Structures are given as structure tokens and as C-alpha cells.
Structure 1
Amino acid sequence: MNAAIGYAAIIAVAVASALIGFYGLRVSRTTSDFYVASRTVRPWWNASAIGGEYLSAASFLGVAGLILLTGTGGVWFPIGYTAGYLMLLLFVAAPLRRSGAYTIPDFTEARLDSVAVRRVTSLLVIIVGWFYIVPQLQGAALTVRITTGLPSWAGSVAVAVLVAAVVAAGGMRSITFVQAFQFWLKLTALAVPVVAVLLVLGGGTTEAALSPAEAFPPSAGPGGLDWYRTVSLMVALLLGTLGLPHVLVRFYTNPDGPAARRTTVIVLGLLSVFYLFPTAFGLLGRAFAPDLAVPGEADALILVLPDRLVPGPLGQVLTALVIAGAFAAFLSTSSGLVVSLAGVISQDLLGGSVRGFRVAALVSSLVPLAVALATESSGLAGSVGLVFAFTASTLCPVLLLGIWWRGLTARGAISGMLTGAVLSGAAILGGPVIGAWLPAVRPFLEQPAAWTVPLAVAVTVLVSRGDHRAVPRGTDAFLRRLHVPEDAR
């Protein structure tokens, strides 16, 4: 691969993102601008920004790499990522917007009238955010190493520094402009190469390396999947989306509840279109580039395939476009996460000022950078899937029960969140060691959501039932605020 193409694409995206971000700085004046863009972002614009931050390294590179490795069974990931937004539409979007909170800890404290709940929620939001940023930085490291020949750490450092600078400068208002631009860049960067490759292959000039029967054997499809792993993965992806801090904070930027619902419907459409293209890349790679199916390297499929299948200068242009889209994916998701983390850290520890937000943005970028530099990627889609499992076991139950169940108490919420955190954290961190010692339990540790989520919910409900006298006095009024439309009030 020509290194000059990689340099040009990465520099172009970085410069464009920085310019758009600093343009947003011109209209970022108040504290509300920095935290929630003064709640003035319209549905189409907000949906584009959500697509920009949600479609991460796992979506842009990881889905295609997973399909290359596992066959059509990997399609469960884009299905789950998209369906998670349907859950948001049905259960969370409008009530969360009506809560009037800036962050998830704001919501849990207001709902349960408890500072202790806020502290536990804040800690979990920070953990989720940091561990979600790490795969983005690892994806940037892989992209820079393959496309430019620079050492891997250069990609991680470049993304972390640029994100910290843009977020600290303009906050949510600025990042909204950047992420909307980056979504449409990512969509174009996948759609155009896929169409070009299909047109070239339609000319019959390239023979598949594997026959269809070899590339897509029955054992590599949904019928060959372990039923427990499949169910557990879908539980993690469907419910984990409901607790992602960088996604939820976006609903606070809508003008009202109906706008939040319209935003979610538009996002569903945008995600459904987007995921057609990494899926197509994975299927093409399975047939035409099976030699790339190496764990740890398969995520580079999208970066390599256009130049291999489309000859001449056109192939190089397509490669540059894909590199630009990949770098935009790392920047946009990392930016959304840093914004949400900076809001939580600054409000809880630094007084909630603009200066505190900027300091928190720097901290939120540097900690995951240190983790990314000290670890190696084990597959982008798999890494993000585990973060979803952790989120589904911790933040999701308290959010859903806080919106829809009057009987939730502070002790119940804290008990449930800690139970989910301990169980899913132990499964994720200790799974490889325990699985080697007890192979029979390995599937339950590799995909823990199917048992950690029900246990976390059960503990939350049981403790709340036993503590029913501690239901806050203002619960009924708060729930009416969540569920009664603004115009009806």
C-alpha cells in the first residue's frame, strides 16, 4: 500500500474535523452549549451526529473482519447494534429527554434523590467510557500501521490528542457539527468502494479464491452458532445500547420528547443503510481474500480489499477514501465518549464549569490512551461486545427501572449496579483463566450477558422490594414528568 495515500487521507480528515470543530467554537458560549448544545439540535442533524459517534471502529472495521473470520454468523453484530436503537426508541428516548438532566448520573440522582446513587453511576459511566475508547484507539493504531508504516502508537496518540483538543475547545455544540460530517464521510467511504468493487467483479475479470460452498459453509452461518452465545450476544447488544453514556447524552440535546423520538427513528434508518456496506465487505473478503482471515489482522480487511480488487489509480483513490472513513470513525466515537465523560467528571469533581469541562476532557482522553498503549487488540467487534455486556449488566437495568417502575429505591439501584459490575467484570477479566481451568463454563464467561443481566435486575428488584419504604416522595411527580408530553403538561 502506498504510504503517501495513507498520510494524505488521515491528514485531510484530521484537518477537516479540526476546522469544523473550531468553527463550532464560535457558537459555543454558555455552559449549556458545552454540555448539551443548549438543547437546540434538530432531529436530522442530531441523528447524523449520533450515527457519527455510534458507528465506531467495531462497526467500520470490526464487523467486516468478524464476518471474514466467522462467516455469516458475524451478521448478528450489525443486527444487534441496529436493533438496540429500536429499544431506545420504545423505552428510553422521550422520557430521558423530558427528565431535563445533563448526564446519566444527573438522571439517577434526580430520580432516586440520592447522592450515593449518583456516585456509583458516575463511576460506572467513567469505566464504560474509558473501556469503549480503548478499541477506538487500537483501531487507529492498526489503521496507521497498515496504511503509513508508522508505529502503532502514533495512531492512538494522534486520535487522543485531536479529540482532546476539539472537545476541550468547543464541547457538545462543536462536536455535533464534527460528528454529523463524519457520519456522512463514513457512509460514503464504505458505499462508494463497495459499488466500485461489485462493478469490477461484475466484469468477470477477477476469480474468487474460494467457491461459495467453501467460503460460506453451513457451519459458518447462523445455523452453526451455539444458541447460548447467540442469545447472550443479542442480550448484550440490545440492552447495552440503552446504557451507553455517549449515546444517551445525545437525547438531552433535542428540543423536546417528540424530537428525541424522531431522532431515534431517523437513526434507525441511517444505521440500517450503513451496515449493508461493512457486511458486504466481509462477504467479499470471505470469497476473494481468505488469506486475510488472521485473528488480530482481519480488522484490516476494509483497508486492503479495494486496492486488491480494483486495479490502477481508481483502487488507490478508493483506498484513500476508506482510510479517511476509518479515521473518521475513531475520531467521532472517541469524541462522543470524551464529551459524555467530561460532563460527568466536571460536574461531579470540578464544579460543572466550562474550565472544569475542559480539564475533564483532557483527563478523559489520556487515561484510555495509556491503556491502549499498554494492551493489544483482540478483535474490535469482540472488544466492544464485551463493553456492551458490562453496560447491559450495570447501567441499563437502573435506567429502565428508573423510567418504568415506581418501586425502585436507591439501595436497590446501588445493589443491582454493583452486582452487575462484579459479575460481568469478573467474567470479562477472569474469563480466559477460569475458562482454561474449567472449559465447560467458557461460553458463559465469553458471553456473560445472558446470566449477568437477569441477576442484576433480580437483585435490584428484590432489594427495592425489601426497602419499599425508601421510595422517594417525589417519585410520582417525577414519573409524570417523564411520561406526559410537554404540550399536555
Structure 2
Amino acid sequence: MTGWQITAASVAGLVAVVAFYLGRRPTTLQNAAQDFDMARRTVRSRRNAAAVSGEYLCAASFLGIAGAILADGADALWYPIGFTAGYLVLMLFVAAPLRRSGAYTLPDFVEGRLGSRGIRWFASLITVLIALLYLVPQLQGAQLAVTALLPIPGWAGPAAVIGVVLVTVLGGGMRATTLAQAFQYWLKLFAIAVPTLALCVVFIGTGGQAATGLGTAAPPTLPSDTTVTVDTPVTLEVDAPTRLHAEGVVDGAPADGEVLWSAEVPHQVAAGTTLRLAEGTPTPIVAEAPADNTDWLAPGNDGTWDLLGTYSLLTALLLGTMGLPHILARFYTNPDGRAARRTTLHVVLLIGLFYLFPTLLGALSRLYVPQLLITGRTDAAVLLLPTAMLPGLGGQLIATVVVAGVFSAFLAATSGLVYSVAGVISADLMPERVRDFRVAAVLLALAALGLSLLPRHPDIAHSIAIAFALAASTFCPVLVLGIWWRGLTAKGAAAGMAIGGLAVLAALALDIVSDYTGGWAPVLVERPALLSVPAAFVVTVLVSLASRQAETTMVNSFMLRMHAPDRLGFVTDAAIPRYGRAEERIRLSHGQGRHRR
């Protein structure tokens, strides 16, 4: 390995060591099950907001958004908008009532609101599915980062992330995870903001002229002679007749020399093929991505279907945030509904600030690393951009800072997911919580590791959006209707979650088949939320109306607890089986561990 590669690996290791230290440091303070789980509910709102943001800013935020903007341009701006605006929906409709409900997890809320043990188990199963769909892209992002930076096998990245996460989560508990996540948010913000500002200075210092300007009606051109090896089969399009040198299989025939590609038809390039292109050559673009910069800058070029895809993506992102298990678990560390809402407001500000920077990096990547459009590995743009814009020591130093943020993103999102979902599995399926929590965490992590080594969708942001779609199609109707409508029944909730979940999983299966059989799936199969979420709401309401019974004292009491002002003192934490009752209000009333703003 080169000196730069050794430095990058060392920085990633340093991030892991710091995360491990923060995970182990508070362990001696955690001597009860509730302290282990909910950080004694003494986490400051601002620190909790930083922890929420640290968990939320995952591989899709750090790598995926810049990569999506590099490939899709203005259409990809809906990702940062949706990721941020999802917290506004959460703040308006869910955060405070959910915290007042006294539940610890989404299955706890479902059981407490509907009084059904069976639906709790069903909710736990959906929680695990959402977690796996969210975990796998994190680990595949680690695989991408390792192969882009280091000459080592790709599986080493996911394996390293899982190892650090298990060590941190198993020994630390929620308070340790809070400290680690809060630290990782500020590390990620530093690691994205400083390189972005430095690269903008470099761009302005060169006169703002790099290759072909973004405003021209032409594809981006290669800034230097470029050699690209295609790892997976890919379909490429060119905007004008293009000469290049190919070694491998192109358009189904062996090639070993110069070829001329026409603009009339797409070109099939087999895995293992090497393409060599001269400086100034218009970049071949992966099929279905905007070919020239004019289309790249203009949203909605594909007409009605493109507009439907945008609406479907926004539906998933806006309504899916409230159904993410590792995010909602954070709000249970707040002492009351008001603190939960305050935390959410801080989160909107923190992640909104963060998302300014990958957007700029995506635009710069279009100018300086357009070769990534050939292979479709656009998610590597953030990692490769610094050395492409600033060759030498300066670019390597900036890239090292980026590496620290990237691995922090992997660790933060993965540890939050493993912790929260392992808690759900152990509470619902296994006795003796702390011991079995560790078993559940290991099993979940290993399952995600195994799935991450399978062939993947090349777009991390797209993969994450599927997890959001599943969350929006299952838990969103139950949360919104359970909080704001007395008529919700267990049968209605179960039917709605089943219909919404099956619709998303069926769409995912069709999309995978489509990827291997010519890419025939329409946009609402790739982004199913526009169909699955309304279907889940309608089914939930209709079945609830058909199975509605007289309101019980339990329902009235639960609704009162969720909507009564905090100062009236109705908030009590739920009695959790195999856990004992959490006596937080008594402890707070004696002045022990009072929540600090």
C-alpha cells in the first residue's frame, strides 16, 4: 500500500478506537436494565439531537447524495429535502404524543395502544425487516469505500464495521451509544464541511473552469486520459459518436482495440472489460441517467413517470422517518413530550446544515470525476474527488478527513440499528434481557453482514429509500392513526401493515428481477411508496371500521396520556415484561438525574 492508503486506513482505525472508547467509558454507571436501555432519561435535548442526527446521517447521506447528484442532477435534490423534511412531519404529528405514551419501542406502542400481544410480534418482525434493509446499504457502502481506497478484499470493510459496532453496543448501552453518536455527528459535519469548503476554494482559485461547464448542452468531458475497468455488466449511452479503446466484450462481441460508439443505440459492456478514453472525450453515461448537462440541471425530464417517481420518493422519505426503529428509540431518552419535540426541532437544524455540503460535492464531481458515470459507482465520488481536484499532498489530506467522516457514518447508523433492533428481538423473543440482548445483537449483525456480501443495487441512496418505503407503508399508518384516531383496531392495524409491507417487498423482488433481466420495471416498482402507503392507510381504516368495538377504558386512558399537556403529569413509562416497571417519574421527583436542556 502507498503512504496515502496507509494514512487513510489509520484514520478509519482511529475513528473506530474513539467510538470504542466512548462506548465503554460510561459502562460502570449503568447498573440497572432501564439505565442500560434509556440512558436514565437524563440526556440533554441538544446532545440527544446530535445523537439522533449522528445515527440518521448514514452512508446514503455521506456517499449516496453526492453520488445521486453526480448521476441524476436536479432530480436527486429531493433526497436531502426529503431526509430533512421527514423530521418536520415527525415533529408535528408523532414525537410528543409518542414519548408521552410511555412506550420504549414501536412494538411497545402498538401493544399498548391496541392491547394485542399478537400484533406486537408482527410489529417486531417488521422492525427486523426494516433494520436489515437499512443495515445492508451501510455495510455495502463500507465495501465500496474499502475497494475504492485500499488494495484489500471488499468484505473487509463490512466485517470491520460490524466488529467495532458489536464491541461498542454490547458493552455500552444507550447512554454510551448517545455519547458516541453525538461525537460522530460533529465529526461527520467537520469531515464534510471542511473538505467541501476547501475544494470550493480550489475550484474558484482555478477560475471556475473545469472541463466542460455544467450549463452546456453536452455530456461532461474527461479531464485527463482515463482507464476504467467495469466490475459488473453495464449499459452505456453516448451523446455523440465516440471513439475509445476496449479490451473485453462490448455489445456481445469480443473487442481488443479501438471502437466507435454511435449515439443511436445503447452499448452493452460485460464485466471485466477495460475501457480507455482520451482526455476531452465526452463521458459515456449509464443508461437512464441524464446524458448531457442541460438535462442534468433540469428536473423532471422524463415527463409524467418521472414526476410520479419524485412524488413516490418524497412520500417514502417524509413518512418513513417516523417508522425507523433506531431513530424513534432516541426520543424515549427524553423525559417528556415537550423535550421530544424540542429535540426534533434541533435535529431539523443539524441535518439541514449537513445536507448543504454533499450537494456541492455532487456538482463538483460532475466536473472532476465523470469517469464514475461509466461504471455507475457514483457513490465513490466523495472519496475520489479531493485527489482528483488537488493532486498531491493537499488532496490526500482532504481525502483523509473525508475518510474519517465516511467511516463515522457507517459506525453511527449501524450501531444505532443494531442496538435498537436487538432490543426489540430480545424483549419479544428471548428471556433475561441483557444476556439475550447480546445474542440478538450478534445474530442481527451477522445476518446483515451476510446479506451485504450479495450483489447490490449500485445506488446507495436508492437502497436506503426502500427501507424508508417499508417503514412508511407499515408503521406510519399505525402511528398516525393510533395517535390521532380512536377508531383504530388491532385487526385494522395488522391488515394495513400486512398490505403495505407485502406491497413494498413484492416491488423490491420485482425490481431485483428487473435488474437482471433488462431493467423493464416501471418507476413505481423501483419507488413503490406512492401506491403502498395510501393502500396501507385505506386498508387500515376500512378494516378498523368493520371490526370496531365500543371504546374501552384502556383506549381512553392511552389517548389521554398521549395528548394531555406534560405539566399535568400523566406520563408514565410502560411496564415492560421481563423488565420491571420504570420508575423514572419518582426518581425525577426526588431530584436525581434531572433532565437538562
State the TM-score, normalized to the length of structure 1: 0.96
Q: Percent identity?
A: 47
Is the CA contact 1:20–1:178 (under 8 Å) kept in the aligned structure 2?
yes
Higher relative helix content:
1
Decide whether the 8 Å contact of 2:313 with 2:465 is kept in 1. Answer: yes
Are 1:72 and 2:74 counterparts? yes
2: distance between equivalents of 1:377 and 1:414? 30
Distance in 2, matches of 1:352 and 1:466, equals 39
Question: How big is each residue's C-alpha offset from its partner over 1:169-227, in whole Å with a ceiling of 9 and x where there is no partner?
Answer: 11211111111111111110010011111111221267412212246414543242511
Task: Give the equivalent residue in structure 2 for 1:224.
Answer: 301
Matched ranges for 1:169-180 at <5 A: 169-180=171-182
The aligned counterpart of 2:113 is 111
| Amino acid corresponding to residue 104 of structure 1 in structure 2 | L
Structure 1 window deviating more from structure 2 (387-396 vs 200-209): it is 200-209
Q: Quick check: 1:340 aligned with 2:342?
A: no
Kindly state the Cα deviation for residue 288 of structure 1 after the two structures are TM-superposed.
2.5
Q: Please list the CA deviations of residues 326-354 of structure 1 after superposition, one character each: whole Å capped at 9, or x if unmatched.
A: 00000000011011111101101122522
Change (3 A) 1:424 1:370: same
- 3-state DSSP class of the match of 1:222? coil
Superposition deviation, residue 295 in structure 1: 5.0
Aligned to 2:268: none
How far has the Cα of 1:34 moved from its partner?
Answer: 2.4
Picking from 320, 323, 337, the partner of 1:240 is 320
Please give the alpha-carbon distance, in whole angstroms, between the structure 1 residues aligned to 2:519 and 2:371. Answer: 30
Cα distance change, pair 110–429 in 1 and its aligned pair in 2 (3 A): same
Q: 1:266 aligns with which of 320, 341, 346?
A: 346
Taking the TM superposition and a 5 Å limit, the aligned residue runs for 1:76-87 are: 76-87=78-89
* CA positional deviation for 1:398: 0.7
Question: What is the match of residue 389 of structure 2?
Answer: 309
**AA in 2 matched with 1:325:** G
Q: Which residue does 1:390 correspond to in 2?
A: 470
- Worse overlay, 76-85 or 338-347: 338-347
Show the 5 A alignment for 1:8-407.
8-204=10-206, 207-214=209-216, 216-218=293-295, 220-224=297-301, 226-351=306-431, 353-407=433-487
Taking structure 1 as reference, are residues 487 and 383 closer, same or farther at Cα in structure 2, changes over 3 Å only? same
Q: In structure 1, what is the Cα distance between the partners aligned to 2:65 and 2:414? A: 18
Aligned equivalents of 1:169, 1:244: Cα separation in 2:
23
SS of equivalent residue, structure 1 residue 102: coil
Cα displacement (A) at 1:470: 6.4
| CA deviations over 1:75-106 (Å, ceiling 9, x no partner) | 11000000000001001111111111111101
CA distance in 2 between counterparts of 1:410 and 1:438 reads 42
Does residue 474 in structure 1 map to residue 554 in structure 2?
Answer: yes
Residues matched between the structures, number: 489
- 2: CA distance, partners of 1:470 / 1:165: 49
Distance 1:303 1:202 in 2: 20
Counterpart Cα distance in 2 of 1:406 and 1:394? 18
1:185/1:435 Cα in 2 relative to 1: closer, same or farther (>3 Å)? closer
1:451 equivalent in structure 2 = 531
More deviation in 41-50 or 346-355?
346-355
Aligned equivalents of 2:325, 2:375: Cα separation in 1:
29
Residues 1:34 and 1:470: Cα distance change in structure 2 (over 3 Å): farther
1:297-331 Cα deviation digits (max 9, x unpaired): 11010001112212432221111110010000000
Does the CA contact (< 8 Å) of 1:295 and 1:379 recur in 2? no
The partner residue of 2:502 within 402, 418, 422 is 422
Structure-2 separation of matches of 1:374 and 1:472: 49
Q: 1:144 to 1:482 in 2, by over 3 A?
A: same
CA contact (8 A) 2:372 2:378 kept: yes
1:374 CA drift (Å):
2.6
Question: TM-score, length-normalised on structure 2?
Answer: 0.79
Q: Distance in 1 between matches of 2:294 and 2:412?
A: 36
Q: CA RMSD in A?
A: 1.8
Cα distance in 1 for partners of 2:374, 2:28 equals: 46
Task: Render the CA deviation track for 1:388-431: whole Å, top value 9, x for unaligned.
Answer: 11111111111111111100000000010001111111011123
Q: Distance in 2 between matches of 1:237 and 1:376?
A: 21
Distance (Å, rounded) in 1 between the aligned partners of 2:376 and 2:136: 15
Which amino acid is the alignment partner of residue 444 of structure 1?
A: L
Amino acid at match of 2:145: T
SS in 2 for 1:407: coil
Moved more, 196-205 or 9-18: 196-205
Q: Tell me, yes or no, if the aligned pair for 1:24 and 1:175 is still in contact at 8 Å.
A: no
- Confirm or deny: 8 A CA contact 2:86 2:322 kept in the other structure: yes
Contact 1:35–1:102 (8 Å) recurs in 2: no
| Residue range with higher mean Cα deviation, 16-25 or 449-458 | 16-25
The CA deviation at 1:28 is 2.4
Contact 2:365 2:385 in 1 (8 A): yes
Q: Judge conservation of contact 1:209–1:290 (CA < 8 Å) in 2.
A: no
Q: Given that residues 24 and 172 in structure 2 are in contact (C-alpha distance below 8 angstroms), is that contact kept between their aligned partners in structure 1?
A: yes
> 1:3 maps to which residue?
5
Post-superposition offset of 1:11: 0.8
Contact 1:236-1:388 within 8 A present in 2 as well: yes
Letter of the 1:53 counterpart: E
Give me the whole-angstrom Cα distance separating, in 2, the residues matched to 1:360 and 1:31. Answer: 16
- Cα distance, 1:435 vs structure 2: 9.0
CA distance in 1, matches of 2:374, 2:19: 32
Give the unaligned 5+ runs of structure 1.
none
- Say if 1:156 and 1:369, in contact at 8 Å, map to a contact too: yes
Name whichever structure is richer in strand by fraction: 2
- The SS at the match of 2:102 is coil
| 1:434 positional shift | 6.4
Corresponding residue for residue 270 of structure 2: none
Relative to structure 1, the CA distance from residue 73 to residue 484 in structure 2 (aligned partners, 3 Å threshold; closer, same or farther) is same
1:240-273, Cα deviation, whole Å (9 max, x unpaired): 1110000111110112111111100000000110
Is the contact between residue 470 and residue 501 of structure 2 (CA under 8 Å) also seen in structure 1? yes
Residue by residue over 1:415-469, the C-alpha shift from the partner in whole angstroms, topping out at 9 and shown as x without a partner, is: 1000111111101112354699998861221111111111111110000000111
Which structure's CA Rg is the greater one? 2
Q: Distance in 2 between matches of 1:201 and 1:381?
A: 26
**Structure 2 CA distance for aligned equivalents of residues 342 and 175 of structure 1:** 14
On the 8 A contact 2:64/2:460 being kept in 1, the answer is yes
* Letter matched to residue 480 of structure 2: L
Amino acid at match of 2:192: L
Question: 2 CA distance for matches of 1:439 and 1:328?
Answer: 34
**SS in structure 2 of the partner of residue 151 of structure 1:** coil
Deviations 1:125-180 (A, max 9, x none): 01101121100000011111222221110000001111111111112111111111
